[in-house]
Structure 1
Amino acid sequence: MSKGGYFEAIHPVLPVQDVTTALGFYIEALGFEIAFADNYEDPKYAGVKRDNIEIHLQWHDASEWVKGVDRPMLRFVIQNIEALYDEYKDKGVFHERTALRETAWGTREFAFYDPYMNGLTFYCDL
């Protein structure tokens, strides 16, 4: 057993231009629920959760998107990847190359972007 600190969870913070729009996407399209918000009328920072996953959404000025800053890429370990793929395929969230596929590195996965180009990959080990 380690004598150091214990890592219990991670809550990534994704940059978004509009927290309300991002909340709508994660709740309505991806099946998350709201965990908290700094202000429920006009949030600038909020969290969504589904099962053991919690993601934070933070407002960033639109000028930051003009600079061409790279966006985060998140990888979610999923049980029953086929069921999640089926759940999302009719939600209008996939891009033209989204497909459930097996990879050379031993996973079965699919991926797409949220409305603010944050990458979301869902996978399981083969």
Structure 2
Amino acid sequence: MSELLKTKFLHLSPVMASSNVSNDIEWYESKLGFKNVYDSSVYQEGDIDYAVLGRQNLFVHLQYQYPKDMTSTDVRIQVKNIDPLFEEYVAKEVIPADRMRRKTAWHTDEFGLFDPSGNRITFFEDL
């Protein structure tokens, strides 16, 4: 197949379950540095049940789920120059300073954390 005809993947925008979207928006903004770029308050009154949060070119969607329907989600986010991000999250007390995994068997530096709804987020840099 010609290189011109191959699909190029541009972005990953996971939709993750949230038991309290408003609470999770605040956490993603204050702890992870994401910004609320859109939420359900634009088109409906009442509790926010859907939001899109962004940081640089990454977007995470949060969708309300009843606790009985929630299952955990794992998201891996590839970054370049992981250390400043790790230091930022240590300073915000999102993650302990001993959580960076260096030179993993799969050739990454990485660290992971859980959001308030139990979704696991791993940030990694290929070595």
With normalisation by structure 1, the TM-score equals 0.85
Residues 16 and 97 (structure 1), Cα distance of their counterparts in 2 relative to 1, 3 Å cut = farther
1:8-87 alignment runs, 5 A limit: 8-39=10-41, 42-65=47-70, 69=71, 71-87=72-88
Q: Quick check: 1:114 aligned with 2:119? A: no
3-state SS in 1 of match to 2:5: coil
Summarize deviations over 1:72-119 as a string: whole Å, max 9, x none: 111111121110000000222226972342201100111111111111
3-state SS in 2 of match to 1:48: strand
3-state SS in 2 of match to 1:101: coil
Q: Distance in 1 between matches of 2:99 and 2:7?
A: 38
User: Whose helix proportion is higher, 1 or 2?
Assistant: 2
Q: Distance in 1 between matches of 2:6 and 2:88?
A: 40
The answer to whether the Cα contact below 8 Å between 1:85 and 1:100 also exists between their aligned partners in 2 is no
Which structure 1 segments of 5+ residues have no match? none
Deviates more, 1:33-42 or 1:96-105: 96-105
With normalisation by structure 2, the TM-score equals 0.85
What is the CA distance between 1:36 and its match in structure 2?
0.4
Q: Distance in 2 between matches of 1:125 and 1:54?
A: 21
| Pairs aligned (count) | 122
Summarize deviations over 1:33-88 as a string: whole Å, max 9, x none: 111001166210000000110000000012224xxx3x111111112111000000
The answer to whether the Cα contact below 8 Å between 1:17 and 1:116 also exists between their aligned partners in 2 is yes
Q: Report the identity percentage.
A: 31
Residue type matched to 2:85 in 1?
L
The answer to whether the Cα contact below 8 Å between 1:22 and 1:115 also exists between their aligned partners in 2 is yes
The answer to whether the Cα contact below 8 Å between 2:75 and 2:121 also exists between their aligned partners in 1 is yes
